[in-house]
Structure 1
Amino acid sequence: MRWLTYFAVCGAVISVGLALGISLPLVSLRLEAWGYGTFAIGVMAAMPAVGILVGSALSGRLAQRLGSARLMRLCLLSGAVSVGLLALWPHYSLWLLLRLWLGMSLTVVFILGESWINQLAVEHLRGRLVALYGTGYALSQLCGPLLLGALGSESDTGFWCGVGLLVGGALLLVGRDGAPEVSSYDASLRGLLQFCRSLPAIAWAVALFAAFESMVLTLLPVYGLRQGFAPEIALLMVSVVVVGDALLQLPIGWLADHVSRPLLFQGCALALLLSSLGIPALLHTPLIWPLWVLFGASAGGLFTLSLILIGERYRDSELVRANAHVSQLWGIGCLLGPLATGAASQWVSGHALPLLMALGAGGLVVLLRGRHGLAQQASP
């Protein structure tokens, strides 16, 4: 196995997480300082999700023409240019276009990077290697805002730090080989529907985790505030969920190399269902803190196991195509999750966030117990 290439690709993708963790909150803070309302900030926040859908559709054709490794480097550099222009041209309309372009560029990096990692992984270590990548990326999401806090949001230093991280990620990939070889394929809506029909549980889990991640980062602090917690405690809850997601992925990956992966997948879905249902009842007790850890770990485990199960089934073009569909589902989950939760929180229940996550996890549990579950897939 090419260990140096594996760590280089992981480092390149993790640099994206850090760059986004610094630049995206900085954009929101800057818009708020300029006097823009929450709707305008929300529209800006949605632009990368639109870029995800566009980038997913283009990744295969571009990788066929340019090669996976070269395209990843170009997209990292393109993302660096986009972040730099955020600092140089501070204008709302231009920033909308730059955020759209940034979403498109970095989605290609995720698709090809995760495909490359799965292509490199030897089967008996696949669970741990994919989980190690997932842990690194989750920690980068946690560290990005912390780094921004240290740099300060008053100046453009955060933008330029993001530029440096993306350029550094591109340099890590120079001279690396073993990337998936891509021939032409169709990542259209028809292809996505076929993917969902062939792997419905994985498709559901990916969309559910995307909705989970976007809701935790944007709506969980609001949920905490409206349940009577101080801002510091509400933000601490977000951090505990992210830490649970990050730190328990390696044990889940280790288990994926030693026990039945479909059974482990079902266990994570059931744990997410039970933890989601337990949040309203335990929210104002000390037990909420370990429950937040379980909440984050079980949701993150579903995504890690989805990547593992995809990696054991596909190679080269089919692997890249599957990860393109994963990104499309991610974009859909990021768009629909916060919208549904925001509407339900306002008009149905103040506990809409955990209850909708329980509904999604319950649907996954039912799907896994049916004839279209994962039992027919290969396990280690």
Structure 2
Amino acid sequence: MESRKFFTLVLAIAIAGMSQGLTLPLLSIMIETAGYSSTLNGWNAAALYIGMFFASFFVEKPLRRFGYKKMLLFGVIVVFIASAMIPFWEHLWWWFMLRFMIGVGDSALHYTSQLWITSSSPAHLRGRSISIYGLAYGSGFMIGPFGVNLSFINEYLPFIVVCALYFISFLFVIRLENEFPAQVEQRSRVGSYRTAFAIGWFALIPAFMYGYLEAVLNGSFPIYALRTGIGAEWVPIILFSFAAGGIITQLPLGMLSDRIGRKKVLMGAALIGSLAFLAVPLMDGQVSGILILAILAGSVVGSFFSLGLAFLADTLPGRLLPTGNALAAILFSIGSIIGPSVTGTGIEHIHPNSLFYSLSLVFIVYFLLGLRPSKSSGSYKQPLKGCEP
């Protein structure tokens, strides 16, 4: 892949990660301090992912028609406009609508950049390339929560910074040459989705899991922290610790998966991550222990989405890769919608610790699914050694 194009895609996704890392916890804290219930807060956080889910059904066809560059520009412009409008009216439904718009723009950004990278990278470098992509997103996501502190200076400042960064992204993207994904014959969309899922289901599930995880940590964890007495000032630090763990191991895990296979790495990460989340309630609100577990969990599951995409590119034939990436975006959105809603209700009606029990359950179920023999062993495409699902 051309270095300038790769740099631009990495920059765009780092800015998207920073934007999400800032706006998710900031709005959750704003809604919580305004006196709304954690259930309503969770549903409002889910608006971002409802927008991503909605857009996931429509991004594939415009991408094939207009190309990668124009879809990236569309995503950048939509998120820029919505982010700029957030602070002008403090109302739950206003924020819901704008979060929905950001989700639509983010869906275009993520889907386009992911597909452009995975389809342009040679198979033996795919794990490294998508790990750098994940590293960029994780770095932005790690830095983003610290922008919450900018609101103490001026309530508009965090959103001004986000918009400035998207403007920089726009200036880089507009200089790219437009390219198009491989064109295929017209076929039933439902049939394509069914075929892609039948072949790559184990590679697609990490998208759902990572969506669930990301939305819970950024949408529901701030509520957990406030309810358990941890304090809002620790929220960005703990989220930073989780993201830092993912950044440290993102590239090594990607390179390891190139050598021993994606499935082995994903299963091992799921098992360790499940145990780390299960241990958080045992800390009984001790911040030092939670920080250590956040770093551990982040170091193993912070690469889940990018590893799943690399696994998917190994498994699916080229003609189904755009469809597979669209499915991954849909599953990511479903997990992101379900996560804050389930955990917000659990915090409200069961116990705050139910948040981490649900995360532990999601990852241990994936590990157990991986122990079952699979029937979708790359019938259409020869995978890398050790990558058969």
TM-score, structure 1 as length reference:
0.86
Residues 153 and 39 of structure 1, relative CA distance in 2, 3 Å threshold: farther
Unaligned runs of 5+ in 1: none
**Structure 1 counterpart of 2:62:** 62
Per-residue CA deviations over 1:8-41 (Å, capped at 9, x if unaligned) read 1111122222233344455455656777665554
**Structure 1 counterpart of 2:117:** 117
Query: Is the Cα contact below 8 Å between 2:47 and 2:103 reproduced in 1?
Result: yes
**Structure 1 counterpart of 2:384:** 379
Correspondence for 1:300 among 299, 302, 310: 302
Residues 239 and 88 of structure 1, relative CA distance in 2, 3 Å threshold: closer
Query: Is the Cα contact below 8 Å between 2:18 and 2:141 reproduced in 1?
Result: yes
Q: Give the AA of the match of 1:343.
A: T
Per-residue CA deviations over 1:118-153 (Å, capped at 9, x if unaligned) read 123232222222112111111211212313423646
Secondary structure of the residue aligned to 1:258 is helix
Per-residue CA deviations over 1:88-117 (Å, capped at 9, x if unaligned) read 566654443333222112211110111111
What is the CA–CA distance in structure 1 between the aligned matches of 2:376 and 2:282, rounded to whole Å?
32
- RMSD, aligned CA: 3.2
TM superposition shift of 1:198: 2.7
**Structure 1 counterpart of 2:137:** 137
TM superposition shift of 1:325: 1.0
**Structure 2 counterpart of 1:85:** 85
What is the CA–CA distance in structure 2 between the aligned matches of 1:187 and 1:118, rounded to whole Å?
24
Query: Is the Cα contact below 8 Å between 1:67 and 1:182 reproduced in 2?
Result: no
**Structure 2 counterpart of 1:367:** 369
Per-residue CA deviations over 1:164-213 (Å, capped at 9, x if unaligned) read 22222122122424744154778967755554433232232221121111
Correspondence for 1:325 among 327, 333, 350: 327
Query: Is the Cα contact below 8 Å between 2:39 and 2:341 reproduced in 1?
Result: no
**Structure 2 counterpart of 1:51:** 51
What is the CA–CA distance in structure 2 between the aligned matches of 1:348 and 1:93, rounded to whole Å?
26
Secondary structure of the residue aligned to 1:257 is helix
What is the CA–CA distance in structure 2 between the aligned matches of 1:230 and 1:187, rounded to whole Å?
51
Query: Is the Cα contact below 8 Å between 2:5 and 2:176 reproduced in 1?
Result: yes
What is the CA–CA distance in structure 2 between the aligned matches of 1:199 and 1:61, rounded to whole Å?
21
Residues 187 and 26 of structure 1, relative CA distance in 2, 3 Å threshold: farther
**Structure 2 counterpart of 1:12:** 12
What is the CA–CA distance in structure 2 between the aligned matches of 1:364 and 1:357, rounded to whole Å?
11
Per-residue CA deviations over 1:26-84 (Å, capped at 9, x if unaligned) read 54556567776655544432221111111111101211221121121122122212223
Query: Is the Cα contact below 8 Å between 2:215 and 2:340 reproduced in 1?
Result: yes
**Structure 1 counterpart of 2:211:** 210
Are 1:168 and 2:168 counterparts?
A: yes
Q: Give the AA of the match of 2:360.
A: A
What is the CA–CA distance in structure 2 between the aligned matches of 1:18 and 1:123, rounded to whole Å?
29
TM superposition shift of 1:370: 0.7
Correspondence for 1:309 among 290, 311, 325: 311
Q: Give the AA of the match of 1:61.
A: K
Residues 189 and 32 of structure 1, relative CA distance in 2, 3 Å threshold: farther
Query: Is the Cα contact below 8 Å between 1:272 and 1:358 reproduced in 2?
Result: yes
What is the CA–CA distance in structure 2 between the aligned matches of 1:233 and 1:316, rounded to whole Å?
45
Residues 186 and 247 of structure 1, relative CA distance in 2, 3 Å threshold: farther
Residues 178 and 306 of structure 1, relative CA distance in 2, 3 Å threshold: farther
Unaligned runs of 5+ in 2: none
**Structure 2 counterpart of 1:72:** 72
Identity %, equivalent residues:
22
What is the CA–CA distance in structure 2 between the aligned matches of 1:304 and 1:188, rounded to whole Å?
25
What is the CA–CA distance in structure 2 between the aligned matches of 1:226 and 1:36, rounded to whole Å?
13
Query: Is the Cα contact below 8 Å between 1:180 and 1:320 reproduced in 2?
Result: no
Q: Give the AA of the match of 1:270.
A: L
Q: How many residues align?
A: 380
Query: Is the Cα contact below 8 Å between 1:59 and 1:324 reproduced in 2?
Result: yes
TM-score, structure 2 as length reference:
0.84
